[in-house]
Homo-oligomer: A and B are copies of this chain.
């Protein structure tokens, strides 16, 4: 089960008591990252248009002008946020999952768990919400995301399902649709987390792991009583 790697993007800068020495120099290198983190959080929360650059700067602890030292415009800041968060992690995951020795049902479940831990739970999840919400205003960004994130993710899942079929564990199936059946709940969780969850009463909160497991169970075994014909 490979040691759970540290969350890749420590989006909330730890601010862990590093003595406030050499203010200028030390910060210099951290600035762009801090600004991108702040921007991601605010863009996700309020959308691109209603986020003021001054807010982003304030949250990153700098003045408005400083932001423009690092990003030539609000729009470029947005693009940088997306670019920065496009994890090229699929290659790594590919390897990790290729080395997986369990059966394919376990692999499917594991994959979704891993996704949740490394993306869904973290601030990185916001980027997808952001891109989907703003796709209308930034079509190139959406296309870029589709190409760099969605497509590779799709391929990764497809390979996993194919493995199950090849090993005689899964029935033959329409792979494309089946892949979307795995993607859909993740997208749903993520949109939910960033939109309805904060507004929903406690009774209607969703436990992500519980839902993922339930979803996997259902997809693997089905709902029907065995022997029933649909």
Contact = CB atoms under 8 A, between A and B. Distances in A.
Nearest to A222: B222
Interface string A71-98: 0000000000000000000000000000
Contacts of A221: 222, 224, 230
Interface residues of A, number: 71
Contacts of A189: 184
Nearest to A42: B136
Contacts of A134: 47, 133
A225 B169 contact: yes
B196 A132 contact: yes
B132 A191 contact: yes
Contacts of A194: 132, 135-136
Interface stretch (A7-15, A32-40, A112-120, A199-207): A199-207
B178 A223 contact: yes
Interface in A128-154: 131-137, 139-140, 142-143, 145-146, 150-151, 154
Given A49-B50, A136-B46, A230-B103, A142 B195 contact: yes
A135 B198 contact: yes
A16 B183 CA distance: 41
Contacts of A192: 187
28 contacts: A47-B133, A50-B137, A105-B228, A131-B195, A132-B133, A135-B195, A135-B199, A139-B198, A142-B198, A146-B200, A164-B223, A173-B218, A176-B206, A177-B210, A177-B211, A180-B215, A181-B185, A184-B188, A185-B188, A187-B188, A188-B188, A191-B191, A218-B222, A219-B219, A220-B222, A220-B230, A221-B224, A222-B222
Interface of A: 44-50, 103, 105-106, 131-137, 139-140, 142-143, 145-146, 150-151, 154, 161, 164, 168-171, 173-174, 176-178, 180-181, 183-185, 187-189, 191-192, 194-196, 198-200, 204, 206, 210-211, 214-215, 217-226, 228, 230
